[in-house]
Amino acid sequence: MSPVIYELMLLNKRSLALALLTVGCTLQAAEALETDICIYGGTSAGVAAAVQAARMGKSVVIVCPDKHLGGLSSGGLGFTDTGNKAVIGGLAREFYHRVWKRYDQPEAWRWQKREEYGNQGQGTPAIDKDLRTMWIFEPHVAERVFEDLIREHKIPVHRDEWLDRSGTGILPVRSVEQAGSAAPLGVKKDGARITSITMLSGRTYRAKMFLDATYEGDLLAAAGVDYHVGREANSVYGEQWNGVQTGVLHHRHHFGAVKEKISPYVVPGDPSSGVLPRISPNHPGEYGQGDKKVQAYCFRLCLTDHAENRVPFPKPDGYDPGQYELLLRIFNAGWRETFDKFDPIPNRKTDVNNHGPMSFDNIGFNYDYPEASYERRREIIKEHETYQKGWLYFIANDPRVPKDVQTAMQRWGLAKDEFQDNGNWPHQIYVREARRMIGHYVMTENELLKKRPTPEPVGMGSYTIDSHNVQRYITPEGYVQNEGDIGVSTQGPYQIAYGALVPKRGQASNLLVPVCVSSSHIAFGSIRMEPVFMILGQSAATAAAMAIDSGIAVQDVPYPKLRERLLKDGQVLESIETAAQRKVNIDPRNLPGVVVDDAEARLTGQWTESTALPPFVGVGYRHDGHAADGKSMARFEARLPRAGRYEVRLAYTPNDNRASRVAVTIHHQSGERTVSVNQKLKPPSGNLFVSLGEFDFDTDKPASVVVSNQGADGHVIIDAVQWLPK
């Protein structure tokens, strides 16, 4: 039965009940299940939270739309995005240890010899088997580990249960305050306290504490908690990498990776012929502005080239080869990176992610997913499935595809022993971003980049600030381009605030949110990693149990006691770097003009942080270790406030061991110019910076300065770049 029809039937039942009550009749309500902690969502965060609650002696239930536990961790994302593994502790590390234990058994290696795969994904030396971890795994292995944890702790899981998000109709509402009488019927509150939640099935759950562990944030929204969808403008939180990112090309997921520019038109170069499928004709927006668009979704596929376990790519219903005309043009332009993200996992399988200008990411087809009805979400998911299956089928079968690419693709197929109840297709789409709570504390890129301290940390992250593309548009020059892809290093681990897990005071006093955490779009780009979700799930459950014991709101949980318990249970709350409490030497925000610190630069090659020779901008500077190999580069980019002439200056710490010739390239309005800087010499008296010259810049694209160690004869230093208007 259609969920839409089912929701309407439920509404009619409620209307009938009210009518009967008015004439003195009563209906026998189904008995509600009561528990200490109710977790909505069967993601990895939900499982970690449930286990922690059980270990703290609380009764707990997982109620979830899912049939399979683990979310993306068991849904195809087996090539784990970890960053610095040393800051992954507690139940998250236990999960990866249990994965290692399974692969330590000979029977786990069915399609491949253990020695053939080697030690990939094993992050801890074999000194102590109780510490061994495995970060790369097959989907069914991850799901088995999650199910083992649930079974061992005797945690009830109510699957295929969908929160009743309906009010006077089936459309989602933004908050109880805005909805009025049309508030969702699935959440009952007494003031700021949630008393119960009800599913479309009619089941009701009462609890002292609730956790929203879904990727979508349906419970927090239905409870009237503030949230945001889309990208904030850079001005909202004082960020650099939020908002529309036209002109910014970080990963090789854009058309800059193609040897020639691609026309977006049906007849190349002729706008009157119409636009090819999957290209937006709309203006992308101005750099740094906010919008309501979200980064692209895809399925993380488990493929295999082992014939005995391989299922040929199926031709999907509704297959239209015309949808891939743009991909054909990309191939014909010489692009050959199709298989660069076929990441190997055990037993001759892969975790395949998006890679390239037109790959698995279904750019622009998910904008209404976060707030959509269940029925509309199913339509979006199906469209993504058709697109991605069609992409594979097109490459493997269409005669126009270059022979070398087609032959290589025909080796692969779906893994027969994965996702067996879903046609070997993942049961979870990669919801990279949906709603994000606006809670007690908002995490931004400023905390991740250590520009300001994070209060009351309950976990850590370290992965690159990573947003996939948001839109595919037509440039003013008449070519196709992707926009929204960001990859900025956090320059080491960062802390995540407890306040990012709890709503604002007065909105929900017994709700914690470990997945759709309170953060900006760009900060969520790093926080959204599966190990971090498990970390935050454990911390949220710990706080929930402590709030129950003290009879207080989640906003009032005493942090010193929470911290003590988290550390006792193995959580990592600070790294060596944060423990040293690195201090800003010279704050770039206090310098004139536009200043980009080395912490914000895009780095390639090896750079080592140092604080040995102050003064310096920010918390330190970097050097290349006197490599002189041409492999270390640093790109400093800035959006200048106005077009015009600027003096460009470079900051470094001088010393006799520095290079006397450092190649610095300034990209300006008329082209580029490379100058040589002698970093043995001190900048002018009383100045941190040396002038690179005056140049004209426009505002259509970022101004950039690139420092390279090519041909250097000593240590190359990067500290900051400054643009001073003339």
What confidence tens digit (pLDDT) does each residue in 509-559 have? Answer: 999 999 999 999 999 999 999 999 999 999 999 999 999 999 999 999 999
Q: What is the pLDDT of residue 451?
A: 85
- The arithmetic mean of pLDDT across residues 364-387, rounded, is 98
Distances (CA, A) of 710 to 42, 567, 625, 651, 705: 51, 46, 13, 19, 15
Give the distance, in angstroms, between the CA of residue 15 and the centroid of all CA atoms in the same chain: 42
Q: Report yes or no: 69 and 51 within 8 Å, Cβ to Cβ.
A: no
Q: Of 75, 626, 65, which is closest to residue 352 (Cα–Cα)?
A: 75
Stretch (H or E) spanning 234: helix 234-237
Stretch (H or E) spanning 486: strand 486-488
Q: What is the pLDDT of residue 247?
A: 82
Q: Is the pLDDT of residue 420 over 80?
A: yes
Q: Is the pLDDT of residue 484 over 50?
A: yes
Coil/strand/helix, residue 291: strand
Q: How far is it, in rounded angstroms, from Cα 554 to Cα 552? A: 7
Backbone angles phi, psi at 549, to 5 degrees: -60, -35
Residue 322 or 184, more confident? 322
Q: What integer best gives the mean pLDDT of the chain?
A: 90
Of 82-91, 193-202, 252-261, least confident by mean pLDDT is 252-261
**Looking at this protein, which amino acid is placed at residue 214?**
T
Q: How far is it, in rounded angstroms, from Cα 383 to Cα 397? A: 20
Q: How far is it, in rounded angstroms, from Cα 490 to Cα 152? A: 37
Q: For residue range 325-368, list pLDDT tens digits in order.
A: 999 999 999 999 999 999 999 999 999 999 999 999 999 999 99
Of 10-24, 496-510, 593-607, 663-677, least confident by mean pLDDT is 10-24
Q: What is the pLDDT of residue 123?
A: 57
% pLDDT > 90, the chain: 78
Q: For residue range 616-632, list pLDDT tens digits in order.
A: 998 889 999 888 888 88
Q: How many CA atoms lie within 13 A of 9 on its CB side?
A: 9
State the architecture of 588-725 in CATH terms.
Answer: Sandwich (2.60)
The pLDDT-based confidence of 599 (bands split at 50, 70, 90) is confident
Q: What is the pLDDT of residue 183?
A: 55
The pLDDT-based confidence of 578 (bands split at 50, 70, 90) is low
Contacts of 643 (CB under 8 A, 6+ apart): 669, 696, 697, 698, 699
Q: What is the pLDDT of residue 582?
A: 54
Q: What is the pLDDT of residue 6?
A: 42
% pLDDT > 70, the chain: 90
Q: Report yes or no: 434 and 367 within 8 Å, Cβ to Cβ.
A: no
Instruction: Outline where 23-158 has alpha helix (H).
Output: 44-55, 90-103, 114-117, 139-152
* pTM of structure: 0.79
Backbone angles phi, psi at 717, to 5 degrees: -110, 135
Q: What is the pLDDT of residue 605?
A: 76
Q: How far is it, in rounded angstroms, from Cα 700 to Cα 481? A: 15
Q: Of 683, 692, 714, 702, which is closest to residue 616 (Cα–Cα)?
A: 683
Contacts of 581 (CB under 8 A, 6+ apart): none
442: DSSP letter: -
Stretch (H or E) spanning 397: helix 374-397
Q: How far is it, in rounded angstroms, from Cα 209 to Cα 544? A: 6
Q: What is the pLDDT of residue 576?
A: 66
Structure tokens at 216: 């979508």
Q: What is the pLDDT of residue 4?
A: 39
- The arithmetic mean of pLDDT across residues 137-144, rounded, is 98
Coil/strand/helix, residue 98: helix
332: DSSP letter: H
- Numbers of helices and strands, H then E, in the chain: 16, 34
Q: How far is it, in rounded angstroms, from Cα 160 to Cα 32? A: 17
Coil/strand/helix, residue 177: helix
Q: What is the pLDDT of residue 20?
A: 33
Structure tokens at 319: 């297959």
Q: What is the pLDDT of residue 192?
A: 97
DSSP strand E in 71-178: where? 157-158
Q: For residue range 652-702, list pLDDT tens digits in order.
A: 999 999 999 999 999 999 999 999 999 999 988 678 899 999 999 998 888
Q: Is the pLDDT of residue 651 over 90?
A: yes
Instruction: Name the residue with tokens 């046609």.
Output: 423
Contacts of 365 (CB under 8 A, 6+ apart): 278, 380, 383, 384, 387
- The arithmetic mean of pLDDT across residues 115-132, rounded, is 67
Q: Report yes or no: 334 and 258 within 8 Å, Cβ to Cβ.
A: yes
Q: For residue range 141-185, list pLDDT tens digits in order.
A: 999 999 999 999 999 999 999 999 986 333 333 333 343 334 568
Q: Is the pLDDT of residue 126 over 90?
A: no
In three state form, how does the secondary structure of 524-562 look? HHHHCCHHHHHHHHHHHHHHHHHHHHHCCCHHHCCHHHH
474: which strand partners? Answer: 480
Strand 621-623 relative to strand 608-610, pairing: antiparallel
